[in-house]
Amino acid sequence: MTFDDFQLHPDVADGVHGMGYTKPSPIQEQAIPAALAGKDLIACAQTGTGKTAAYLLPVLDFIAYERPAHTTALILCPTRELAKQIDEQVEGFGYHVGASSIAIYGGGKSENWEQQKRALTQGADIIIATPGRLIAHMQLGYVKLDQLDFLILDEADKMLDMGFSDDIIQIVNHLPTKRQTLLFSATMPNKIREFSKKILHEPEEIRLAVSKPAENINQQMYMVYDTMKLALLEHLIGELDVQSMILFTSRKMNVGPIERALRKKGLNVRGITSDRTQEEREQVMRDFKNKQFQILVATDVMSRGIDVSELSHVVNFDLPRDAEDYVHRIGRTARAGTSGMAITFVSDHDQDAVVKIEKLIERELEKKPTPEEIGPSPEFDPKKYRGRGASGPGGRGGKSSPFGGGGRSGSRPERPASSAPKPAIAVAEGAEAPAVAGETDEQKKRRKKRRRGPKPEGATSGGIEATASTTTESPAGEAAPSVDGSTDEAAKRRRKRGGRNRSGRGPKPEGSSVAAEATATSE
- For ligand AMP, the binding residues (CB under 6 A) are 21, 23-25, 28, 47-53
CB of 3 to ligand AMP, least distance (A): 8
CB of 71 to ligand AMP, least distance (A): 22
Query: Longest C-alpha distance within the chain, in Å?
Result: 80
Beta carbon nearer to ligand AMP, 22 or 268: 22
CB of 329 to ligand AMP, least distance (A): 14
CB of 30 to ligand AMP, least distance (A): 13
CB of 315 to ligand AMP, least distance (A): 22
Beta carbon nearer to ligand AMP, 28 or 254: 28
Coil, helix or strand for 97? Answer: coil
Residue 160 · residue 192 · CB < 8 Å: yes
Beta carbon nearer to ligand AMP, 82 or 464: 82
CB of 508 to ligand AMP, least distance (A): 22
Helix 489-503 to helix 51-66 angle, to the nearest 10 degrees?
A: 80
Using CA atoms, how far residue 382 sits from 324, 348, 358, in Å, is 19, 8, 12
Contacts of 388 (CB under 8 A, 6+ apart): 349, 352, 394, 397
Q: Give the whole-angstrom CA distance, residue 313 versus residue 334.
A: 9
Of all residues in this chain, which one has the CB nearest to ligand AMP in the complex?
A: 50
CB of 233 to ligand AMP, least distance (A): 29
Residue 103 · residue 115 · CB < 8 Å: no
Beta carbon nearer to ligand AMP, 24 or 257: 24
Burial string for 16-28 (b: 16+ CB within 10 Å, else e) reads beeeebeebbbbb
Beta strands in 312-387 (DSSP E): 313-316, 340-346, 367-369
- Please name which of 410, 415, 258 lies closest in space to residue 349, comparing C-alpha atoms: 410
Beta carbon nearer to ligand AMP, 47 or 519: 47
Contacts of 506 (CB under 8 A, 6+ apart): 500
Q: Give the whole-angstrom CA distance, residue 342 versus residue 326.
A: 10
CB of 281 to ligand AMP, least distance (A): 18
CB of 241 to ligand AMP, least distance (A): 27
Q: Give the whole-angstrom CA distance, residue 275 versus residue 416.
A: 8
Residue 414 · residue 251 · CB < 8 Å: yes
Beta carbon nearer to ligand AMP, 2 or 277: 2
Beta carbon nearer to ligand AMP, 27 or 151: 27
DSSP secondary structure letter of residue 394: T
Q: Give the whole-angstrom CA distance, residue 332 versus residue 352.
A: 24
Beta carbon nearer to ligand AMP, 93 or 403: 93
Q: How crowded is residue 2: how many other Cβ atoms within 10 Å of its Cβ?
A: 10
Beta carbon nearer to ligand AMP, 25 or 471: 25
Beta carbon nearer to ligand AMP, 120 or 129: 129
